[in-house]
């Protein structure tokens, strides 16, 4: 039995800073892109999102007649702690070693009051595993965030964190992974229908 995941990044926020757990809205004015994405996704898939409004709103725009599952807080973006809504340059001026270690050698380094890459991976993996267990053999549209999507690409491709961070994940893109008897498989990554 194969469970397919269609990982969607929410619509753009237009923020030029690190946006993690801040609840910024998505710009969903590109209705043509949303329609193309919705048409691309399986009609019988279940839809779930993180509980942040930019993901919830994007999921609502894509839902159509699909069944919606409750929002999942554990599917949130990276928790940037004290770096939240700040630019790289601002943080780099104060704490260059830590911010460079966080992005260039992701693992156990944390932003002050935030979470490490390994913590993000553990949180999201647990949430995705619970969804797969509860809906084995179904197609799941998971609307979320850049970091959340990268955690699953890292797992499915067996990548290092550095390799995962090398992927570009555009707003309103879809990345496909599946879990079946042969293990994790990947399809398109960062596809813009």
Catalytic site positions: 10, 77
Are 108 and 152 contacting, i.e. CB atoms less than 8 angstroms apart? no
First-residue to last-residue Cα distance in the chain: 27
Give the closest residue to 58 by CA, choosing from 118, 98, 12.
12
The DSSP annotation for 51-94 comes to: SSHHHHHHHHHHHTTSEEPPP-GGGPPP--GGGTT--HHHHHHH
**What are φ and ψ of residue 150, in 5° steps?**
-60, -35
- Convert 76-96 to b/e letters by CB count within 10 Å (16 or more is b): bbbbbeebbebeeeebeeebe
Distance of alpha carbon 2 from alpha carbon 135, whole angstroms: 10
Are 170 and 192 contacting, i.e. CB atoms less than 8 angstroms apart? yes
145 three-class SS: coil
Distance of alpha carbon 142 from alpha carbon 69, whole angstroms: 10
């Amino acid at each position: 039995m194969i469970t397919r995941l269609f990982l969607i990044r929410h619509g753009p926020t237009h923020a030029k800073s690190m946006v993690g757990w801040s609840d910024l809205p998505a710009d969903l004015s590109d209705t043509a892109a949303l329609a193309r994405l919705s048409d691309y996704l399986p009609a019988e898939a279940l839809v779930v999102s993180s509980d942040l409004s930019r993901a919830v709103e994007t999921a609502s725009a894509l839902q159509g007649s699909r069944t919606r599952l409750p929002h999942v807080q554990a599917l949130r973006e990276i928790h940037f702690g004290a770096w939240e809504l700040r630019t790289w340059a601002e943080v780099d001026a104060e704490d260059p070693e830590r911010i460079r270690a966080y992005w260039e050698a992701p693992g156990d380094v944390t932003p002050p009051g935030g979470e490490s890459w390994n913590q993000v991976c553990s949180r999201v993996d647990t949430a995705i595993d619970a969804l797969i267990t509860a809906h084995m053999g179904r197609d799941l549209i998971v609307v979320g965030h850049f970091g959340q999507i990268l955690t699953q690409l890292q797992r499915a491709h067996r990548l290092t964190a550095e390799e995962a961070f090398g992927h570009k994940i555009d707003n309103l893109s879809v990345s496909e992974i599946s879990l079946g008897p042969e293990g994790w498989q990947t399809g398109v990554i960062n596809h813009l229908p």
